[in-house]
Amino acid sequence: MGLNCALDGPSGAGKSTIAKGLAKRLGFVYVDTGALYRSIGLYVLSKGADTTSADEVVPLLSDINVELKYIDGAQRVFLNGEDVSEKIRTHEISMAASNVSAIPAVREFLLDLQREIAGKNDIIMDGRDIGTVILPSAEVKVFMTASAEERARRRYNELTEKGQSVVYEEILKDINQRDYNDTHREISPLKKADDAIELDTTSMSIEEVVDCIEKLIRKEIKTENEGFRKIPFFRVWFYALIRLIASIPFRIAFNLKYEGLENLPKSGSVILAGNHRTWFDPILIAIKVKYISAYMAKAELFKYFPLNAVIRLVHGFPTRRNSGDVSALSNAEKYIRRGYNLTMFPEGTRSRNGKIGRAKSGVAFIASKCGVPVYPVGISFTGKLHFRSKITVRFGEPISPDDLMIKSMAKSDLRAAGERIMNTIAELVDPYE
Ligand code: DC
């Protein structure tokens, strides 16, 4: 997996110039996602349809094939086989792109394509929702801004240098209109990711901006090369103490049987993924896995004090289920990169009857993004739990990132890998236990 840099910001902030400069200096691939929306805008206009109408745009999507190709190091955009790289750079197409980008089906249509490109390469991707939606766990996120007047001035200079006769006021009006559209649309509006660095470039030169972001990326490359960071000593001991205290009531209340202990992880930075039967499954796993772990837990649990405080104390972080929670994915990745294990339940919800459900795409996303193995855990018991019920916890052999066979970060590929993980977990669960 490559290193991903997400560069978001409003129209005309100079993202593409900066991204091209960075890609050249660092040998990264530059991906201009605006070109994808522009191609769709172009197609819709060519069919005489209304770019603001989802009813007219959505039926056309099945006829569209957009591809990005790299010819002599430059990105070219192909719409149904035709190179439209130049055609999409007009004022009319800018507005059409802004309009179609507000249609949820259009964003969904382009999501997999963008993730697919990012999965394989070291990339700089520019757009509006790269850090928030497309690549939530990009290693470097920058949100570039500049005042509307400055952006209009830059655009005016660029066009007049090309010999075009343009009116500054019109360009400014256009920029304000696109800012409004992009920030007010309901789906994936232009917004700074919580963990992005904001860079106001109003009074910065291109060179200064490229230098600044290059430094951030080089720092990240250095950190990755140094390997996973060390966890402070006191945290490890504190976790060990809590783990011990929390385990006592469960050891007394139930007849716990552990199998496959030879498969326990011997280090941090792995994912422990189990089937979800009881609210104390994380404790059942932690009893045997000595290494410090973070926990992905449903957001509802964080509503109540002191429960939320306790969960946070053991590095629990919230995930909003069924919503592709990007900050949860990004938190998961951060913990793993710092050397923690991650304990999670890929089905996302508890199974009352012991049947194994389908995995959400998160587990494969994190495993693939961080390049870490998944340790499957099967938790089994029969009937209703009562005092001294027998609960079997079985640890399986780790599944390496290669064995997950994740071809791309497209949702369908992640789901398929999730399925493989759940099947392995299912083999560790005994339905008659
Ligand atoms: O970056 P650009 O000006 O080429 O983008 C054209 C339009 O596409 C822009 O008005 C908003 C939209 N867009 C988007 O919604 N999400 C992206 N990732 C990229 C562009």
Q: Kindly state if the Cβ of 97 falls inside 6 Å of ligand 1.
A: yes
Backbone angles phi, psi at 267, to 5 degrees: -155, 180
Rounded to 10 degrees, what is the CA torsion of 117, 123, 126, 127? Answer: 40
Ligand 1 contact, 128 CB (< 6 A): yes
Residues 237, 211, single domain; the answer is: no
179 and 205 in a single domain? The answer is yes
Instruction: List the CATH number of the domain containing 210.
Output: 3.40.50.300
Report CA(37)–ligand 1 centroid distance (Å): 6
Residue 422 in domain: yes
| Shared-domain flag, residues 97 and 196 | yes
d(CA 390, CA 258): 11
Query: What does the pLDDT read at residue 162?
Result: 85
Q: Are residues 217 and 240 in the same domain?
A: no
Specify if 254 maps to a domain: yes
Identify the segments of the chain with pLDDT beneath 70: 1, 120, 224-230, 431-433
Are 189 and 74 in a shared domain?
yes
Provide the residue range defining the domain that includes 244. Answer: 233-428
Which residue has the least CA distance to atom 2 on ligand 1? 34
Task: Ligand 1 pocket test: pick from 4, 94, 109, 128 the residue with the most ligand atoms within 8 Å of its Cβ.
Answer: 128
Decide: 11 in ligand 1 pocket, CB within 6 A.
Answer: yes
CB distance 101 to ligand 1 below 6 Å: yes
Atom of ligand 1 nearest to the CA of 126: 18
Beta bridge partners of 126: 7, 32
Q: Specify the pLDDT at position 248.
A: 96
Is any ligand 1 atom within 6 A of the Cβ of residue 129? yes
Asked if residue 416 lies in contact with residue 321, where contact means CB atoms within 8 angstroms, the answer is no
Per-residue confidence (pLDDT) for residue 105, from 0 to 100: 95
Separation between Cα atoms, residue 153 and residue 251, nearest integer Å: 70
Specify the pLDDT at position 226: 60
Atom index in ligand 1 nearest the CA of residue 130 equals: 18
- Determine whether the shortest distance from the Cβ of 178 to ligand 1 is under 6 A: yes
In-domain check, residue 148: yes
Q: What is the CATH number of the domain that holds 335?
A: 3.40.1130.10
CB atoms < 10 A from the CB of 86, how many?
9
- Residue 132 inside a domain? The answer is yes
Whether 174 is in the pocket of ligand 1, judged by its Cβ within 6 Å, is no
In a domain, residue 55? The reply is yes
Are residue 277 and residue 185 in the same domain, yes or no? Answer: no
pLDDT of residue 229: 55
Domain termination residue (choose one: 171, 194, 225) = 225
| Pairwise CA distance, residues 123 & 137, whole Å | 13
Point out the domain boundary residue: 167, 198, 225.
225
Residue 52 CA to ligand 1 center (angstroms) comes to: 15
Q: How close is the Cα of 94 to the center of ligand 1, in Å?
A: 8
Based on the domain organization, do 128 and 246 belong to the same domain? no
Residue nearest to atom 3 of ligand 1 (CA): 11
Find out whether 342 and 294 touch, Cβ atoms under 8 Å: yes
- Is the distance from the beta carbon of residue 34 to the nearest atom of ligand 1 less than 6 Å? yes
214 and 361 share one domain: no
- 35 with 77, same domain: the answer is yes
Domain assignment present for residue 31? The answer is yes
Residue nearest to atom 9 of ligand 1 (CA): 98
- One domain, residues 316 and 395: yes
- How much is the pTM? 0.64
Residues 253, 322 share a domain: yes
Number of domains the chain contains: 2
Q: Closest residue (by CA) to atom 20 of ligand 1?
A: 34
Expressed in angstroms and rounded, the spacing between residue 122 Cα and the centre of ligand 1 is 21
State which of 225, 254, 289 marks the end of a domain. Answer: 225
Whole-number pLDDT of residue 216: 93
98: CA distance to ligand 1 center in Å? 6
Residue 433 in any domain: the answer is: no
- 77, part of any domain: yes
One domain for residues 219 and 274: no
- Which token pair is 144? 């570039």
Say if residues 13 and 151 touch (Cβ distance below 8 Å).
yes
Number of CB atoms found within 10 A of residue 295's CB: 23
- What's the Rg (C-alpha) of the chain? 25
Per-residue confidence (pLDDT) for residue 225, from 0 to 100: 59
Check residue 224 and give its pLDDT: 67
Q: Which residue's structure tokens are 């130049």?
A: 86
Distance 330 CA to ligand 1 centre (A): 23
Cβ–Cβ contacts within 10 Å for residue 275, how many?
Answer: 24
